[in-house]
Amino acid sequence: MTLLIKRILILEDNYLVLSKLLEKLSILEDRQPWEFSLTVINDSEQVENLINDNPKAKFDIIILDRDCKVGKSFHVLDIEHFGVEKVIGISAVTRFNKQAQDRGVTKVIEKDLSDIDKFTTNVVDAVGEMIQKLPWS
């Protein structure tokens, strides 16, 4: 049996949000014929060094916050290279989500820190919808 892998890049610096996302992604994965390969980064400098400059870096979905642990922006990600259609913008700041949309991102779920459970459910639901549209190769 061939194992189907879906690669997800998560750029998030809030560990509570991240833990909820991971919990719900685990539940989603358990219900599907594929598995996730997750790359989690909380530092935009690592995005520049490990992701943008890596010709082998490939992702099916990217969950993109804006602020990162080193006080910079995850928007340094070369979104256009990876494909704007693969990105879910998740900043808590409307103008930062607008910045992602100005670069072509169409899927944005504004982060609600007052209801992290509902917010992360919405993000994982969007991931599930996007996964269903991916090729099975």
Residue 50 pLDDT level (bands cut at 50, 70, 90):
very high
Q: Where do the structural domains in the chain lie, given as residue ranges? A: 4-132
The order of strands in the sheet holding 87-89 is 34-41, 4-11, 61-64, 87-89, 107-108
Q: How many angstroms from the chain centroid is the CA of residue 128?
A: 12
- 4-132 — its CATH code? 3.40.50.2300
Asked if residue 10 lies in contact with residue 40, where contact means CB atoms within 8 angstroms, the answer is yes
Q: Is the pLDDT of residue 134 over 60?
A: yes
Average pLDDT for 84-113: 96
53 against 65, higher pLDDT: 65
Q: Is the pLDDT of residue 137 over 70?
A: no
Q: Compute the mean pLDDT over every residue in the chain, rounded to the nearest whole number.
A: 93
- List all residues 6 or more positions away from 92 whose beta carbon is below 8 Å from its beta carbon: 110, 111, 112, 113
